């Protein structure tokens, strides 16, 4: 904890219960994607989405079809759709 009793640092980052530092101003969105069946699929989708400007992290889970994206600002749905398309999968929509 900082001197003022907050878990947030003066630099603006907070420590969440999951053990991950989250920067103030970041946005997290979860998308439903069809067609992912394995780790290779997860990597392909993550790689393409990571190339979108402003994306700081991507977590794709083939078992659920969910892709969680953290970015500095809300992402354009068409940019996300194009990235997933490029990887060879289909965006159903936000979960």
Listed by start position, the domains of the chain span 25-94
pLDDT by residue, tens only, the chain of 95 residues = 444 443 444 444 444 444 445 556 899 999 999 999 999 999 999 999 999 999 999 999 999 999 999 999 999 999 999 999 999 999 999 99
What is the CATH number assigned to the segment(s) 25-94? 3.30.70.100
65 in Cβ contact with 54 (< 8 Å): no
The model's pLDDT over 9-26, given as tens digits with 9 standing for 90+, comes to 444 444 444 444 555 689
Cα(75)–Cα(15) distance, integer angstroms: 24
- Entry pTM: 0.74
């Amino acid at each position: 904890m900082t001197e003022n009793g907050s878990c947030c640092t003066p630099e603006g980052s907070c420590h969440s219960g999951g053990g991950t530092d989250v920067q103030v101003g970041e946005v997290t969105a979860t998308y439903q994607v069809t067609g992912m069946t394995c780790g290779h699929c997860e990597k392909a989708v993550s790689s393409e989405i990571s190339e979108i400007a402003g994306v700081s992290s991507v977590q794709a889970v083939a078992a659920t079809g969910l892709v969680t994206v953290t970015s500095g600002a809300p992402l354009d749905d068409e940019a996300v759709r194009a990235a997933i398309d490029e990887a060879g999968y289909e965006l159903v929509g936000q979960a």
